[in-house]
C-alpha cells in the first residue's frame, strides 16, 4: 500500500540520511562556550518579548482569585481534618 509520499511499509533511505546530515553541526556546533551562552541569552530575551504581560488590573484580579481560592481550600482541609480527628477520638478514645 502506498500514499502520496511513498511506501508506508518501507521508509526512503534518502530521507533518513538527509535527517541525520541536517542534525550535525548547526549554529551550536561552530561556536565556543561563550558563543553558545550568548546565543542562549539572546533566545531568552526573544522569548520574553513574545510574552503577553497582564495589566495591573488583571494582575490584581488574578491575585485576588488565587488568594480567595487558597483560603477556601485551607478552610476545607481544616474542616475535614477536624472531622477525622473527632472520628478517631470516637473510635479509639
Task: Note if the pTM is more than 0.75.
Answer: no
The H or E element that residue 10 is part of is: none
Cell of 4: 502520496
Helix or strand holding residue 2 (H, E):
strand 2-3
Q: What residues contact 6, with CB distance under 8 A and at least 6 apart?
A: 12
pLDDT by position in tens, the chain (length 93) = 555 655 566 555 555 555 555 555 555 556 788 999 999 999 999 999 999 999 999 999 999 999 999 999 999 999 999 999 999 999 998
d(CA 57, CA 63): 10
Amino acid at each position: 500500500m502506498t500514499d502520496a509520499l511513498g511506501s508506508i511499509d518501507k521508509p526512503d533511505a534518502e530521507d533518513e540520511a538527509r535527517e541525520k546530515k541536517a542534525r550535525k553541526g548547526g549554529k551550536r556546533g561552530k561556536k565556543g562556550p561563550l558563543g553558545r551562552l550568548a546565543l542562549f541569552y539572546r533566545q531568552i530575551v526573544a522569548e520574553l518579548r513574545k510574552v503577553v504581560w497582564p495589566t495591573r488590573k488583571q494582575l490584581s484580579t488574578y491575585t485576588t482569585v488565587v488568594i480567595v481560592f487558597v483560603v477556601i481550600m485551607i478552610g476545607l482541609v481544616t474542616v475535614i481534618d477536624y472531622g477525622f480527628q473527632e472520628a478517631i477520638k470516637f473510635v479509639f478514645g
